[in-house]
Amino acid sequence: MIRVLLADDQPLVRTGFRMILEVEDDIEVVGEASDGADAVRQAATLRPDVVIMDIRMPVQDGIAATALIAAAGTSRVLILTTFHLDENVVGALQAGASGFLLKDTDAAKLVEAIRIVRAGEAIVAPAVTRRLLDRFARQLTARGDGQDTGYGTAVRRALDGLSARETEVLTLVARGLSNAEIASELVVTETTVKSHVHHMLTKLGARDRVQLVVLAYEAGVAGR
Angstrom CA distances, 11 to 40, 83, 114, stand at: 18, 22, 20
Do 65 and 159 share a domain, yes or no? Answer: no
Domain containing residue 166? 148-219
pLDDT confidence of residue 134:
61
Do 170 and 80 share a domain, yes or no? Answer: no
The answer to whether the CB of 183 falls within 8 A of the CB of 192 is: yes
Share of the chain above pLDDT 70, in %: 79
Instruction: Give the closest residue to 213 by CA, choosing from 175, 186, 179, 184.
Output: 175
Asked if residue 74 is part of any domain, the answer here is: yes
CA distance 133 to 38: 30
Do 50 and 100 share a domain, yes or no? Answer: yes
pLDDT confidence of residue 223:
53
Asked if residue 137 is part of any domain, the answer here is: no
Query: What confidence tens digit (pLDDT) does each residue in 204-215 have?
Result: 888 777 778 777
The whole-model pTM stands at 0.69
The answer to whether the CB of 115 falls within 8 A of the CB of 135 is: no
Do 160 and 80 share a domain, yes or no? Answer: no
> What's 82's domain CATH number?
3.40.50.2300
User: How does DSSP classify residue 61?
Assistant: -
Do 108 and 156 share a domain, yes or no? Answer: no
Asked if residue 139 is part of any domain, the answer here is: no
Do 154 and 102 share a domain, yes or no? Answer: no
The domain tally of the chain equals 2
Single residue among 83, 100, 129 that ends a domain in this structure = 129
Among 40-49, 126-135, 158-167, whose mean pLDDT is lowest? 126-135
Do 192 and 87 share a domain, yes or no? Answer: no
Do 155 and 102 share a domain, yes or no? Answer: no
Do 213 and 102 share a domain, yes or no? Answer: no
Do 6 and 76 share a domain, yes or no? Answer: yes
Asked if residue 136 is part of any domain, the answer here is: no
User: Exposure string (b/e) for 182-204, b if CB count within 10 Å is 16 or more?
Assistant: bbeebeeeeeebeebbeebbeeb
Among 13-22, 145-154, 157-166, whose mean pLDDT is lowest? 145-154
Q: Is the pLDDT of residue 106 over 90?
A: no
Task: Select the highest-mean-pLDDT range: 3-7, 85-89, 125-129.
Answer: 3-7
Do 27 and 112 share a domain, yes or no? Answer: yes
Asked if residue 141 is part of any domain, the answer here is: no
- Determine the average pLDDT of the residues in 50-67: 91
Single residue among 80, 98, 129 that ends a domain in this structure = 129
Query: What confidence tens digit (pLDDT) does each residue in 5-58 have?
Result: 999 999 999 999 999 999 999 999 999 999 999 999 999 999 999 999 998 889
Do 109 and 174 share a domain, yes or no? Answer: no
> What's 167's domain CATH number?
1.10.10.10
